Structure 1
Amino acid sequence: MASFEELVAEGESVAVEGWDFSWFAGRATEQRPSWGYARLMGERMARAERALDLQTGGGEVLSSIPKAPPVLVATEGWAPNAALARKHLAPLGGRVVEAGENDDLPFDDGTFDLVVSRHPVTIRWAEVARVLAPGGTYFSQQVGAGSLRELTDFMMGPQPVSQVRAPERARTAATEAGLIVQDLRSEALRIEFFDVAAVIVFLRKVIWTVPQFTVPAYYDRLRAMHDHINRYGPFIAHSYRFLFDAQKPA
């Protein structure tokens, strides 16, 4: 069995660019939503003419679509991820534009008939509505309020749960931007971490779980996590996901 120090060193050494989570195989598990976002998104991409993926990360999910539309564009604000996305989307003829989640979208009004996003950090609903063509669709899987709160609270102490990511708040914001919500559903999903290295890599990768996380700053809590897993088994947390489907009036 690896020591705490060995696991910490391993957790610090793993590259965290992009949204490829294959490293976690055997180290952590996450239950998947029942609806199958990637499959549903791929079906919509196959019917689209001009599509945009917001905050694509390294393009890992978008690159899985079986058929690309004639025009395929993705945005990404972090340069290392943008470089990965260009590599992943090149076989599909996709173009990657560097734009942060809080930036105005660098596209003309009504450019796209499909806009998608998986786990966006933030959504500027007025911008989404602006770049959608009349009759166009915004389709997304998003992180709900209170996701990973067990992990956040273990590392930081009890934290208030913000409702910024609540599904109904998204419905209200989309409606106020002029979109018609067609479908909104949510699920709670079980996550298990089998060792402290997996916790470290996750916190380095999903940076909003524990803001400004570093190993030195949370060394004592990581030691406590290691002891917890050794004594009780995998650390259990829950994520919340919601599927969002909205249309711009024709």
Structure 2
Amino acid sequence: MPDAVPAHRPVPPADASFEEHVEWARTVPVVGSDLSPVDGHVVEEELPWNYERLARELVASGRGPVLDLGTGDGEMLASLGPFPPRSAATEGWAPHLPVARRRLEPLGLEVRPVGGEGLLPFLDAQFAVVLDRHEAFDPDEVWRVLEPGGIFLTQQVDTRDGTRVNAALGARMPWDPDSVTLDGAVEVLREVGFVVDVARGHDGVRRFRDLGSLLWYLRARAWKVPELATSSPEAVARYEAPLRALHLHFAGGNEFVDEAPRFLVVARKPW
């Protein structure tokens, strides 16, 4: 049976009170990577490519076993099957592991945990395709587990993502905004020997339409402003002045537009 979708209260109107928005954001549950509670209230610009279609074509290509890096709860990967024998996935966040295993093991995929050092728990040349949607990768490890002629498909979040929200809140960026870029990814892949067949970037945007949705989004993406990851009273008090300014902005019928750049790379390990 499919996983149950939790019910949640609708987002308050943009001009509802500051306190009502904070209470909503603090009490509506965050479940994995699911953003449905803010559907229509946090809107990302559509990408000019379709990662899922490209991944599905590679899975169905008959090349051989597929590895998915950072599969999360496994929902997207599960939609790409059926899978070649000996296909697998990795996940580094412990709460996602049992969910991914329940979803993917019945489809014939093994799900293995990985640590922060980037090492992959697989043999050399074990896979014909490596997929990676938004997971950090070690190019040497991807090269090692791919067989000659194998394909690496990755869609990545450029680390300029979220910079405008952090600036509006006066919050320090917890990462270097130049650390993950299209040019950098292409460079490191070529350095280990990959042939890069596709390299596309997109300077997308993310639109927030009310304070409650923005605060809840910062809970769901806790690494962006770690101090606001729980919307605790202490954290809200610390950022109260910029949060109230944003609330007035939203209550006046305005959106807040943040950066949401993405890039896509298709690389090939030569024969």
TM-score scaled by structure 1? Answer: 0.91
Aligned to 1:217: 235
Q: Structure 2 unaligned runs (5+)? A: 1-12
After superposition, give the CA deviation of every residue in 1:100-153 in whole Å (9 maximum; x if it has no partner): 343411111111111111111x22111111111111111011011411211121
Q: Is the 8 Å Cα contact of residues 179 and 247 (structure 1) preserved in structure 2? A: yes
Q: Which of 44, 60, 65 pairs up with 2:58?
A: 44
User: Measured at CA, do residues 78 and 158 of structure 1 come closer, stay the same or move farther in structure 2, by a change above 3 Å?
Assistant: closer
Pick the structure with greater CA Rg: 2
Q: Does 1:195 align with 2:213?
A: no
Q: Structure 1 unaligned runs (5+)? A: none
Pairing of 1:68-83 with structure 2 (within 5 A): 68-83=83-98
Q: Does 1:247 align with 2:250?
A: no
Q: Does 1:28 align with 2:49?
A: no
Aligned to 1:140: 154
CA distance in 2, matches of 1:98, 1:17: 20
User: Measured at CA, do residues 17 and 127 of structure 1 come closer, stay the same or move farther in structure 2, by a change above 3 Å?
Assistant: farther
Q: Does 1:227 align with 2:248?
A: yes
Secondary structure in structure 2 of the residue aligned to 1:71: coil
Given residue 179 of structure 2, which amino acid in structure 1 is its aligned partner?
Answer: V
Pairing of 1:99-114 with structure 2 (within 5 A): 99-114=114-129
CA distance in 2, matches of 1:185, 1:43: 18
How many Å apart are 1:24 and its aligned residue?
A: 2.1
CA distance in 1, matches of 2:105, 2:172: 44
Q: Is the 8 Å Cα contact of residues 198 and 267 (structure 2) preserved in structure 1? A: yes
CA distance in 2, matches of 1:74, 1:14: 30
Q: Is the 8 Å Cα contact of residues 101 and 123 (structure 1) preserved in structure 2? A: no
Q: Is the 8 Å Cα contact of residues 4 and 226 (structure 1) preserved in structure 2? A: yes
Instruction: Answer with 85-94 or 191-200: which moved more.
Output: 85-94
Secondary structure in structure 2 of the residue aligned to 1:146: coil
CA distance in 2, matches of 1:124, 1:145: 17
Aligned to 1:13: 27
Identity of aligned residues (%): 36
Q: Is the 8 Å Cα contact of residues 205 and 261 (structure 2) preserved in structure 1? A: no
Instruction: Answer with 233-242 or 201-210: which moved more.
Output: 201-210
CA distance in 2, matches of 1:132, 1:70: 15
Aligned to 1:181: 196
How many Å apart are 1:212 and its aligned residue?
A: 4.2
CA distance in 2, matches of 1:10, 1:69: 44
Paired residue total: 249
CA distance in 2, matches of 1:130, 1:119: 20
Aligned to 1:67: 82
- Which protein has the bigger strand share? 1
Given residue 60 of structure 1, which amino acid in structure 2 is its aligned partner?
Answer: E
CA distance in 2, matches of 1:101, 1:12: 29
Instruction: Answer with 149-158 or 44-53: which moved more.
Output: 149-158
After superposition, give the CA deviation of every residue in 1:29-76 in whole Å (9 maximum; x if it has no partner): 111211111111111111242111111111122122143222221111
